[in-house]
Amino acid sequence: MRVYPLVFRAAFSWMDAERAHGIGAGLIGLAHRVGAGRVLRRIAAPDPALRTTVMGLDFPSPFGLAAGFDKHGRHTVALTDLGFGHIEVGTITGTAQPGNPRPRLFRLIADRAVINRMGFNNDGAAALAPRLAAARAALSRDHGAPRPIIGVNIGKTKAVPLEDAVADYELSARTLAPHADYLVVNVSSPNTPGLRQLQEIDALAPLLRAVRAAATAAGRPDVPLLVKIAPDLADEDVDAVAALALELDLDGIIATNTTLRRDGLATDAATVAGAGAGGLSGAPLADRSLAVLHRLKTAVGDRLALVSVGGVTTADDVAERLVAGADLVQGYTAFLYEGPFWARRINRGLARRLGAVRR
């Protein structure tokens, strides 16, 4: 019998979602600091059969934690104790910002979903850089090879006008690329005004070129560069982004971010309306996220890495994405519902499936 669902119902389901998130993350960090991390790493370590090389990087598992959980880079090392093959930190902006007013995070428990309008609350690139450097060193010390990978997700500072967005992303890239295993340009969050306009090809191409140049100037011409796109893009726009990624020789695409859609939910309409604006993530996103993955795979084949995220809960979900062409798979929302041993269960399920295939 799993204990966490009972803990969630008794301790967290009634609590403000952001407060519950903070408590949960804090407990994971505390466990690491008091020395439990060594035990957790032993029981949650991915099976060596799950090791995979993507974008020239060696991942202990193809399953990782999506951006959004570790916004401040304070729990990166502790989260890897739980078995994630990579942690994507952020989204991080050029300068620190508090994000949108609270409340800004809402659970739709009947749908195993979340609505958020966090607004890229984070401590800013300058504060994150030394944390990331320290985390990479700690992971090499604690895990050996292959160690869990650290991705760095960057976005636009809210106060920066859209016409100055390129310079803002350049600042983040120069500051953070030296400490990233891979770098992600986030142009798909619905919670920063105007941000999704940067997904338009005429805006996206110069932005990605500028980020690549900034990373090179910072001494990391080799850092893999990816772009993260929204599920709400029309199919022809997904195709256009894929073509651009190939033209610019990007290393990968992450699909998908949260959605603005609210159709097909089990939660009553009044509760959904009461949550207000923001991006929806979790189980309701699964079908569209998978459809975008199929479309991207058709467009790019094996020429760049595809990272699938959106609606992933079980090892079967992760396996389905890998079979559909994903090189890596990320989760986030289900972590809030499944608890701290979620990645361990995913990895064990994947290892069992791999064993069955090999037999």
Contact 232/195 with Cβ under 8 angstroms? no
- Does residue 67 have a known ligand-binding role? yes
- Does residue 117 have a known ligand-binding role? yes
- Does residue 153 have a known ligand-binding role? yes
- Does residue 59 have a known ligand-binding role? no
Q: What are phi and psi of 195, to 5 degrees?
A: -60, -45
Task: Enter the DSSP assignment of 72.
Answer: T
- Does residue 341 have a known ligand-binding role? no
Q: Which helix H or strand E contains 126, and what residues bound it?
A: helix 125-143
Q: What are phi and psi of 150, to 5 degrees?
A: -110, 115
- Does residue 325 have a known ligand-binding role? no
- Does residue 29 have a known ligand-binding role? no
Cα dihedral sign for 283, 289, 294, 297?
negative
- Does residue 333 have a known ligand-binding role? yes
Structure tokens at 217: 């100037």
Cα–Cα distance for residue pair 141/323, rounded to 1 Å: 33
- Does residue 15 have a known ligand-binding role? no
- Does residue 274 have a known ligand-binding role? no
Q: Tell which residue, 312, 200, 186, has the closest CA to residue 253.
A: 186
Catalytic residue ranges = 189
Cα–Cα distance for residue pair 249/145, rounded to 1 Å: 28
Cα–Cα distance for residue pair 334/353, rounded to 1 Å: 21
- Does residue 71 have a known ligand-binding role? yes
- Does residue 228 have a known ligand-binding role? yes
Please enumerate, by residue number, every residue annotated as part of a binding site for substrate: 71, 116-120, 186, 191, 257-258
Annotated binding site for FMN: 67-71, 91, 153, 186, 228, 256, 282, 311, 332-333
